[in-house]
Structure 1
């Protein structure tokens, strides 16, 4: 809806500012006037006038200056309204004079010939476009759930289907304008009509293209904007622009017909009421997702449009354009971003896998919109391009610096988004889990480590350079600022030695390729998997879950457990009667089975083998086994190898030795009975007891 308000005011303001004064036939000045002009050419008079022009104006206080500015604004508004009111009273007389001018010009050629030329001008573009559509086959369509959807989601196909007919229409419309011989006033009318027709046709073409873009289904089948809502705003905006285009043509036609500036203002304001009504109708009939519209918002927008119209009529152009831009720019940028995003998210879209093109189109469109808005704003306030480029007043310099600063910031924004899109694309394409070979995995891990840091540094560099260029464009001396920043940097460096140490240490760690994202490292009491970096610290995820942020200056010596290869050693205890040759063969077979396993084999560099007897223990023979695997894979292979060894030893009669305690017990029961008998005989009452 804010877009409609902008078109209302922008169109009428354009009519106001672009219409030149009507030419007045030159007449021979009286003799007295000729004498005055001759006197003004004498050296004495020129010198006196130059001295008066260069004389300094009297100084005024700030309060008086502010009151003078307000008084000038009020006087300007009153004079503007008076001019328009007087022109409205004189409008019938000016219409009569314009009719006489038209009669005098068209009479020699005849009304029928001029009418035929104008009719050809109106119909040439439509006829050429119709012929094109008859020659070129129409784009096929298909239906999905009862809704018509074009099969061409590709941007080039949509652009070709929407824009090429409009170009043909424009070229065909210009042919009668160049081919026929037009009288002066009629030529001005024909040019204005041709421009209005071309603007109207391109408005329809671009509007339909935008509707097709913003209603493209995403990969999940959903749409950001419903087709009914997009068509509603397209139709209102198209009516708005077409109404404005022909209204502008009518205002431009009044110039060669001799209408005064006040009369042109009056007609433009009357036409602006029609634009205001179209905008208000769109506000009150706009579609709503919930099915209910907020009456307060509708009344607020209507009053806002009315206020802009009043500001335009009273001549307060600065407030007018501030009000226009406050509602126009956010909405225009949102529509542009939505169109690019829909095109990017479409399943078969042109930008689906083109990150650089998507960023360039998105930020480029935003840059064009904002730059055009800034230049047009300066022009509407009376700052022409030559004045902004060559003017030396404070206002000229500030305006030139502000517009230049906007361009610099937009260029920096575009550069940053292009660089970020490229870096993010590289990060997505270099995921470690998609690597095929070890060299590829190492290269991707290095990219995953260095690119995020480079991206952060690049963002800081672009931001600092852009800000310095903007300040320089505004006339601010940046040399003292840079020198002061250097002094402050030295002071901060001395006061923050630990931070400087961390940053420099991190640079050297990365330079030495000491570790990468995804690797398991140990450093002093810190250990874990490297998750991410910053300029000052590294984040380590412990295998039990805790995340530790360690400054680079505290790392010291680093043990990297994920580089190249790792050797895993296994110790087994077997009994002294074990056949060691047989045990070695069994272990060799197990190593071969591990090597042939599709799950473990790719990760084994040297398979499991028996190295020999490590030592003779008190209860067993200790044998040593080893294997070389890729880093991080040894744990799973070791567990499976131990399970296979246990089963294979059991099948081949090889026993594991365990510590035991053996007590010799030969004749133990006899001795126990004898000892018990002796104890019984030694008791005092044993002889008196009867035998049982």
Structure 2
């Protein structure tokens, strides 16, 4: 209904513009001829009386044409609209006056058409009589009933032949309903497709008279649109009322059903109101009459919307009267904008009200499908992103294109127009499409990278090669994600500016100059970024590895473009710029060798000690907790040196990085017990004091010193 009124209004405005232009040209030509005649009167020879009495042939033809009754009638009708065109030509009317004049003429046109409506009804009745006279009203009625009922009958037969999915009503209130998303989609949409196909059959099978065929096509479109609206609405009610992962719902089922029923009533009323307007055109009704009927039917839309606002459910909360009054006034303002012909403002108001709600419902529906464990979007991140952002992109792009049509820009004009308004409109709509495409591309890239990060956790159950691969992914993918975000944003902005007619060459050159200046002014930051790129290129460290660099050491937790975060083993988190790292010691690559030094007495049997150490190494290999992490087990390398009071022997083992500390502690405990069982003693420093037996105090101090040394404590002074 809105579409018809908009089209009619645009045709009226277009015809007014053409007629106004013709009058302006004629007026300018008359003035030009008058001025030319006045200017040439001083120099041109005075015509004779015979010449003045005999006008040229073309002038006589024009005078005869101006005396024709139809031409005089047309000129009289145009004189009513002449003041607006004259005001435009004079340039004395402000923008507000133009708007008021536009509204006044639009209302006058509709009101004048309302006065002529009874005569047009009588004329339409005659057209209908002539239309049905050859075949008779009975056959036309049969065709109409077939068109109205065949879709419903076909859908009932399809439902009877197809088993209904077993979805209990209570399942909707439980998380188990998530498993029936695909079945619910099939049960809701496929019957609507059957209905649409069956409704089209009478249009093709019957031989319709010309006017009846136009009416039948409009009715079929309304029936199909209404049926799909109801099917999709029911499916959305199921989806938006499903519980989230935390068990909560975005909207209750009672509230969703309320808005579904009101929206269905609104859509059905709108569809068949549109049919009425479409029927009036082939029956000979004028544009003004069709607009008048559309505005009267629009009162019904206004009442439906107001009733929905005032009786809406609140889910236990207090009903907001202020909100209801605001929306009522808002709906009334939209209806007045429609009646006065301000279609651009009307659609801006409709978009501001409905577009956020439509996007929110679409997002909730896609999220519910994604959460379904048995649904077709389960565990398919890319499909979810494509559906979610794709639906949003389609909705916003369609709204932008429709807004362009409302502004009077057809596709061919927007593609080939050379005026500033054409270029701006083309650039604005193209910019919206570019931004939507960039948003879709960014979310696809982000979903892919995030999916890789989730699927590659740093756990201990993976093999060494798999751990290294996952650590590298955890390190590089976040960096690539940030880089992709910047690249996509910059390219999208440049494309939008180019589409708006802005030369981006100077911008790129200026950005290069600014970049050089910023580079000189921020050398430290540039140094950090470039150093980080080379660290990553050399694979110097990864997330989860323990590194040391100067006074900084810790486990690598995260990266940015210019710094790395190190978690010390005692807890503090240090952010170190790449430029300050310098040489990096990585303690988690490939393998590590741990060496142990032991002091034994000079009377120790070294061969026996070597066998004992070998046995301990074998026990470590056989231990299921230590064995998988040992590359070369504990072994005795030999005598390192002879000390003042002991023989120093060296032991070593090769383990996986980070595992040497636990294995070392257990190995030392096993060595102590094994040496004690085999009579191998650890050497400790002793002090021998000689005397005549009278210095008992010195001897006691020496005994205490030796006892503390054997116990491993610090000798007392």
Instruction: With the length of structure 2 as denominator, give the TM-score of the two structures.
Output: 0.83
- 2:366 matched to 1:336? no
Superposition map of 1:409-488 within 5 A: 409-433=435-459, 436-488=462-514
| 3-state secondary structure, aligned to 1:645 | helix
Give the equivalent residue in structure 2 for 1:14.
3
Gaps in structure 2 of 5+ consecutive residues: 13-57, 67-87, 699-717
Distance 2:570 2:177 in 1: 52
- The 1:314–1:670 alpha-carbon spacing in structure 2 relative to 1, beyond 3 Å, is closer
Distance 1:658 1:91 in 2: 121
Q: Report how far residue 549 of structure 1 moved.
A: 1.5
- 2:274 matched to 1:285? no
- The 1:91–1:39 alpha-carbon spacing in structure 2 relative to 1, beyond 3 Å, is closer
Give the equivalent residue in structure 2 for 1:92.
118
Give the equivalent residue in structure 2 for 1:310.
336
| Aligned partner (choices 135, 146, 169) of residue 161 of structure 2 | 135
Distance 2:552 2:63 in 1: 94
Q: Report how far residue 145 of structure 1 moved.
A: 7.5
Quick one: higher RCO (CA 8 Å, sep 6+), 1 or 2? 1
| Aligned partner (choices 642, 652, 656) of residue 616 of structure 1 | 642
Distance 1:173 1:391 in 2: 40
| 3-state secondary structure, aligned to 1:433 | coil
Which deviates further from its counterpart, 241-250 or 277-286?
277-286
Distance 2:267 2:341 in 1: 23
Q: Report how far residue 15 of structure 1 moved.
A: 2.6
Q: Report how far residue 411 of structure 1 moved.
A: 0.7
Deviation digits for residues 253-287 of structure 1 (CA, Å, limit 9, x no counterpart): 01111111111111111111111111111112222
- 2:250 matched to 1:224? yes
Distance 2:697 2:393 in 1: 109
Deviation digits for residues 558-578 of structure 1 (CA, Å, limit 9, x no counterpart): 111110000111112223333
- 2:163 matched to 1:174? no
Gaps in structure 1 of 5+ consecutive residues: 1-11, 23-31, 41-61, 673-692
Which deviates further from its counterpart, 349-358 or 113-122?
349-358
Instruction: With the length of structure 1 as denominator, give the TM-score of the two structures.
Output: 0.86
Q: Report how far residue 395 of structure 1 moved.
A: 0.6
Distance 1:81 1:669 in 2: 130
Deviation digits for residues 10-42 of structure 1 (CA, Å, limit 9, x no counterpart): xx42130245979xxxxxxxxx999549989xx
Give the equivalent residue in structure 1 for 2:323.
297
- The 1:564–1:145 alpha-carbon spacing in structure 2 relative to 1, beyond 3 Å, is same
Distance 2:293 2:517 in 1: 67
Superposition map of 1:129-528 within 5 A: 129-142=155-168, 144=170, 147=173, 153=179, 155-433=181-459, 436-528=462-554
Given that 1:649 and 1:655 are in contact with CA atoms closer than 8 Å, whether structure 2 keeps it comes out as: yes
Distance 1:241 1:506 in 2: 58
Deviation digits for residues 53-72 of structure 1 (CA, Å, limit 9, x no counterpart): xxxxxxxxx9x979532221
Given that 2:175 and 2:242 are in contact with CA atoms closer than 8 Å, whether structure 1 keeps it comes out as: no
- The 1:558–1:66 alpha-carbon spacing in structure 2 relative to 1, beyond 3 Å, is farther
Given that 1:224 and 1:342 are in contact with CA atoms closer than 8 Å, whether structure 2 keeps it comes out as: no
Give the equivalent residue in structure 2 for 1:79.
105
Give the equivalent residue in structure 2 for 1:122.
148
Give the equivalent residue in structure 1 for 2:23.
none
Give the equivalent residue in structure 2 for 1:549.
575
- The 1:251–1:80 alpha-carbon spacing in structure 2 relative to 1, beyond 3 Å, is same
| 3-state secondary structure, aligned to 2:633 | strand
Q: Report how far residue 363 of structure 1 moved.
A: 0.9
Which deviates further from its counterpart, 476-485 or 614-623?
614-623
Give the equivalent residue in structure 2 for 1:644.
670
Q: Report how far residue 90 of structure 1 moved.
A: 2.3
- The 1:226–1:560 alpha-carbon spacing in structure 2 relative to 1, beyond 3 Å, is same
Given that 2:548 and 2:585 are in contact with CA atoms closer than 8 Å, whether structure 1 keeps it comes out as: yes
Deviation digits for residues 352-392 of structure 1 (CA, Å, limit 9, x no counterpart): 31111111111111110010000001101211111111111
Distance 1:33 1:181 in 2: 53
Given that 1:573 and 1:622 are in contact with CA atoms closer than 8 Å, whether structure 2 keeps it comes out as: yes
Distance 1:650 1:272 in 2: 102
Distance 2:251 2:696 in 1: 102
Q: Report how far residue 555 of structure 1 moved.
A: 1.2
- 2:571 matched to 1:582? no
Q: Report how far residue 190 of structure 1 moved.
A: 0.9
Given that 1:19 and 1:251 are in contact with CA atoms closer than 8 Å, whether structure 2 keeps it comes out as: no
Q: Report how far residue 89 of structure 1 moved.
A: 2.4
Superposition map of 1:557-568 within 5 A: 557-568=583-594
| 3-state secondary structure, aligned to 2:555 | strand
Give the equivalent residue in structure 1 for 2:653.
627
Given that 1:620 and 1:658 are in contact with CA atoms closer than 8 Å, whether structure 2 keeps it comes out as: yes
- The 1:389–1:39 alpha-carbon spacing in structure 2 relative to 1, beyond 3 Å, is farther
Distance 1:380 1:272 in 2: 18
- The 1:148–1:644 alpha-carbon spacing in structure 2 relative to 1, beyond 3 Å, is closer
Deviation digits for residues 138-197 of structure 1 (CA, Å, limit 9, x no counterpart): 111246579588867365433322211111100100101111111122212211111110
Given that 2:423 and 2:500 are in contact with CA atoms closer than 8 Å, whether structure 1 keeps it comes out as: yes
- The 1:89–1:172 alpha-carbon spacing in structure 2 relative to 1, beyond 3 Å, is same
Distance 1:545 1:349 in 2: 43
- The 1:37–1:181 alpha-carbon spacing in structure 2 relative to 1, beyond 3 Å, is farther
Given that 1:170 and 1:198 are in contact with CA atoms closer than 8 Å, whether structure 2 keeps it comes out as: yes
Given that 2:366 and 2:384 are in contact with CA atoms closer than 8 Å, whether structure 1 keeps it comes out as: yes
| 3-state secondary structure, aligned to 1:141 | coil
| 3-state secondary structure, aligned to 1:607 | strand
Distance 1:33 1:380 in 2: 43
- The 1:143–1:394 alpha-carbon spacing in structure 2 relative to 1, beyond 3 Å, is closer
- The 1:578–1:384 alpha-carbon spacing in structure 2 relative to 1, beyond 3 Å, is same
Distance 1:199 1:671 in 2: 112
| 3-state secondary structure, aligned to 1:125 | helix
- The 1:148–1:489 alpha-carbon spacing in structure 2 relative to 1, beyond 3 Å, is closer
Give the equivalent residue in structure 2 for 1:681.
none
Give the equivalent residue in structure 2 for 1:596.
622
How many correspondences in the alignment? 631
Given that 2:528 and 2:579 are in contact with CA atoms closer than 8 Å, whether structure 1 keeps it comes out as: yes
Distance 1:618 1:323 in 2: 96
| 3-state secondary structure, aligned to 1:77 | helix
